[in-house]
Structure 1
């Protein structure tokens, strides 16, 4: 197995895990304030099962350039994911393609699916960002709406509690000490995320791709009601929902992570 680190033409940092003879490609889109390196254990697990994995750091995150937690408009994420997919096709040829998004990444992927990109084998959505919890308090929402037009780059602390990520203290401690993690978002970013949630909710029935939805039952960052809503509303006839009892925000980093990794590879194998 070979682990390569390179940069996209767009300047986004990405990592690739590639087994000698991959049977499919999984593109992973991480959550807010973090970076692709936090998914190394997921990528290594998938690569050991024959999957080539690409994980970019979103703009304004990790080792990629840009103001931390800022975008001018939501379409920038769509453009980056579209470019990544085209890059993967040119690099890996006709291998089957899957996309996996967690939290903010789940919203990026859902918006991508609403636009009905052809040729994907399916999507995995984790910690679905459709019903934000404590972070989306009314004061922050009102501030984002009001100032987005006039001071779009104004940066605020989201107040995300690292203890809500996982019941594993080691995961929480590693997150707190990670120099590539940040907890700031611009008011424009907040406004664009709220608008993207509204668009996905209005157009969810356009989604027809095979889906695997993963969510922690006790997630206070993105409430589990969003995962249930998505499962009901999409038009996909091939869809599965896994709710992990007592689970927190990051299923792949929580106490049941071995089961989560098994569920992911089992679903991928059944959709090749």
Structure 2
């Protein structure tokens, strides 16, 4: 496995950090990972290992205000910044891997951004994987979300701890301990981010019904950060033919680092394999594991 780090220019000329992994042989396709709020590009090892072992190149980005990318922790001025950044990230993958299919995989807030981007760039994307997409109610206190709305105009950079416990992400004690000691992780969200997210999630609940990009939707049945009802409802309402839903019994928010991580990695690899081998539409599938 070959590993490399770099930076690319996002919205507002912000130099965003990314890292990538490639197999020794020529890649079959490329997968770009977009982490969620407070997360970063280095927390997807199980997915990276599974994909690279199967012949795929993997890129992972630190969103603005996250990981090794600059910016106030958990802050955006407007939602479009994130979509623009992900667009530039996708273009980077495509430019560095000419001729290869370039998929996007998003987790939580990252999945929300990826799905919004997919609505705008459906002709370019061969498929999207969304893990616990934050498009419905979330586990952050309604009081804190309300404070965010109230302060968004007068003090947009006002920041609060989300209050989400580390153990909400994984049932693996080692991962919970790693989260707590990771200097690149954070639990911050600003007033403007809260408002922009809430407005976007409300808009996407309607607009996603017209999604035309093949979708794999993964959800933990016991996720308290992004409860599964939102993913179940979205999947049931999608008119998209090429869609697949997998729900993991007992799974928490960070399925890629939960005790079901190996199965999650296998499911992602198998889905991408099918879409690389078969460019045509696939049938609707739904699984509870």
Runs of at least 5 residues in structure 2 that lack an aligned partner in the other structure = 277-289
Q: 1:61 aligns with which of 60, 63, 66?
A: 66
Q: Is the 8 A contact 2:216 2:243 kept in 1?
A: yes
Corresponding residue SS for 2:44: helix
What is residue 33 of structure 1 aligned with on the other side? 38
Q: Distance in 2 between matches of 1:177 and 1:150?
A: 34
Q: 2:78 aligns with which of 73, 78, 96?
A: 73
RMSD between superposed Cα atoms in Å:
1.1
Q: Is the 8 A contact 1:204 1:233 kept in 2?
A: no
Q: Is the 8 A contact 1:159 1:183 kept in 2?
A: yes
- Output aligned runs, 1:37-56, within 5 Å: 37-56=42-61
The question of 1:13 aligning with 2:17 is answered yes
**Alpha-carbon displacement from aligned partner over 1:98-140 (angstroms, at most 9, x marks no partner):** 11000011100111122243121111000121223331x2211
What is residue 3 of structure 2 aligned with on the other side? 3
What is residue 266 of structure 1 aligned with on the other side? 270
- Output aligned runs, 1:106-145, within 5 Å: 106-135=111-140, 137-145=141-149
Corresponding residue SS for 1:99: strand
Q: What is the deviation of 1:145?
A: 1.3
Count of aligned positions? 271
Q: Distance in 1 between matches of 2:74 and 2:9?
A: 21
Corresponding residue SS for 2:66: coil
Q: What is the deviation of 1:258?
A: 1.1
| Worse-superposed segment, 83-92 or 23-32 | 83-92
The question of 1:208 aligning with 2:192 is answered no
Q: Is the 8 A contact 2:30 2:56 kept in 1?
A: yes
Point out 4+ residue stretches in structure 1 off by more than 3 angstroms. none
What is residue 188 of structure 1 aligned with on the other side? 192
The question of 1:98 aligning with 2:103 is answered yes
Q: Distance in 2 between matches of 1:151 and 1:53?
A: 38
Q: Distance in 2 between matches of 1:244 and 1:41?
A: 16
Q: Is the 8 A contact 2:46 2:265 kept in 1?
A: no
What is residue 217 of structure 1 aligned with on the other side? 221
Q: Distance in 2 between matches of 1:83 and 1:171?
A: 31
Q: What is the deviation of 1:82?
A: 0.7
TM-score by length of 1: 0.97
TM-score by length of 2: 0.91
Q: Distance in 1 between matches of 2:119 and 2:7?
A: 28
Q: Distance in 2 between matches of 1:91 and 1:211?
A: 24
Q: Distance in 2 between matches of 1:91 and 1:77?
A: 21
